[in-house]
Structure 1
Amino acid sequence: MDKRFWISGVVMTIATALLGFVVHGLLLADDYNTLVGTVMRSPEEANGMMHWMLLADACIGFAMTWIYRQGIGPSATLGQGVRFGIAVAFLTVIPQFLIYWVVTKMPAGIVHKQLVFDSLRMVVLGVLVAYLNPRRTG
């Protein structure tokens, strides 16, 4: 684990936190507000647990960096990042929200938005991690 790994992990952690806020704190906020007290925690209760969200973001940031660096191929950086982001979405986002939909009373419309927005978030993060960790020639 070299310097590039640690820098990439920190940048990815910050990026996933910011993009997560855009998706869940802004784009889905009105949808989530209709569920406070039933499916969702109150903002006060959730804010008291925000350290767990930061830990989750660090897990995503460093795991994406680590996994990506294991298989950098000869493909163009953009294409490789997009493919990696799609793979991560199929490994994490899509099953996660489908499972949550089955075990909670989350409305299908919100789940659809979660699937689309968070999958796009993973593609953006995939491209970012690819540019942070270019393949080495020679």
Structure 2
Amino acid sequence: MDKRFWICGTVVSFAALLLSFLVHGLLLAPDYAALVHEYRDARDGARQLPWVLLAHALLGFAMTWIFSVGFAHDRRPLRQGLRFGVAMALVAAVPACLLAYAAQPLPAGFIVRQAALGSASMVLLGLLLAWLQPRRRAFTAPH
């Protein structure tokens, strides 16, 4: 793992954190407010910030690692990023939402919105990785 891997992993981790804030902190905020009895209060949630940061770092670096191992230089990067993002949504975002629905008494509509927005986030992260191309040797225009 070279310097480029660590830079790409950091960028993707930060992008994942921003997308998570957009999805959960803004777009789904009314849903969470209606379900306040199911989640931690704001003060307790703020104490969990190190875990949130660790989760997004793991996500960013794991996605970078998997994408860089499977990236094929002879294929269109945009298509690879899109396919990778969909695969990550089906591996991570959608199952996590289904498990949350199975474990907690959450409304189905909320879970559907979480899964859809989480999947869109994964696709965006996949496209970001395709643009960054972690295995590219120099910062040149993508193929």
**TM-score w.r.t. length of structure 2:** 0.91
Deviation at residue 35 of structure 1 after TM alignment: 1.1
CA distance in 2, matches of 1:57, 1:29: 19
Q: How does 1:123-134 map to 2 (within 5 A)?
A: 123-133=123-133
Aligned partner of 1:87 in structure 2 is 87
Aligned partner of 2:29 in structure 1 is 29
* Contact 1:77 1:134 survives alignment (8 Å): no
CA distance in 2, matches of 1:50, 1:99: 22
Q: Percent identity?
A: 46
Aligned partner of 1:108 in structure 2 is 108
Q: Does 1:70 align with 2:69?
A: yes
Amino acid at match of 2:84: F
CA RMSD of aligned residues (A): 1.3
Amino acid at match of 2:55: A
Structure 2 spans left out of the alignment, 5+ residues: 138-143
* SS in structure 2 at match of 1:127: helix
Deviations 1:67-87 (A, max 9, x none): 000111222111110000000
| Inter-CA distance 79–135: structure 2 relative to 1 (3 Å threshold) | farther
CA distance in 2, matches of 1:40, 1:134: 37
Deviation at residue 134 of structure 1 after TM alignment: 6.0
* SS in structure 2 at match of 1:75: coil
Aligned partner of 1:55 in structure 2 is 54
Q: How does 1:1-20 map to 2 (within 5 A)?
A: 1-20=1-20
* SS in structure 1 at match of 2:105: coil
Deviation at residue 135 of structure 1 after TM alignment: 6.0
| Inter-CA distance 27–97: structure 2 relative to 1 (3 Å threshold) | same
* Contact 1:10 1:58 survives alignment (8 Å): yes
Structure 1 spans left out of the alignment, 5+ residues: none
Amino acid at match of 1:111: I
Q: Where in structure 1 do 4 or more consecutive aligned residues deviate above 4 Å?
A: 134-137
CA distance in 2, matches of 1:3, 1:135: 10
* SS in structure 2 at match of 1:83: helix
Report how many aligned residue pairs link the two structures: 136
CA distance in 1, matches of 2:24, 2:134: 30
